Amino acid sequence: MSHEGECRRFILECRVRAVSSANNPFSSDAIAILREASSGGLRDIDRLATNALRHAASRKVRIVDRSVVGKIVGNHLNNLVD
């Protein structure tokens, strides 16, 4: 795995530990969307993943899937335009 891929995985694993979960709450689709939406930028991945976890927790959703990440990415894009 590339250094960049290792960094992405590390960030997601840190987020998982932060919510005290033994399992990765991100679906593979969600991870792919995070990677694409962030263009691989580590700060952007961190911010989007954190917001996705918060959004999922506020709705008591256990798996952060494409619908949760899509909502966060949509909000992020709207904020860029405003």
What pLDDT tens digit does each residue of the chain (82 aa) get?
A: 676 777 777 777 776 666 655 677 889 899 889 888 888 788 888 899 999 999 999 999 989 999 999 999 887 766 665 5
Indicate the class that CATH gives domain 3-81: mainly alpha
Closest among 78, 73, 72 to 55, alpha carbons compared: 72
Are 45 and 32 spatial neighbours (Cβ–Cβ below 8 Å)? no
Question: What pTM did the predictor assign?
Answer: 0.70
So where are the chain's domains?
A: 3-81
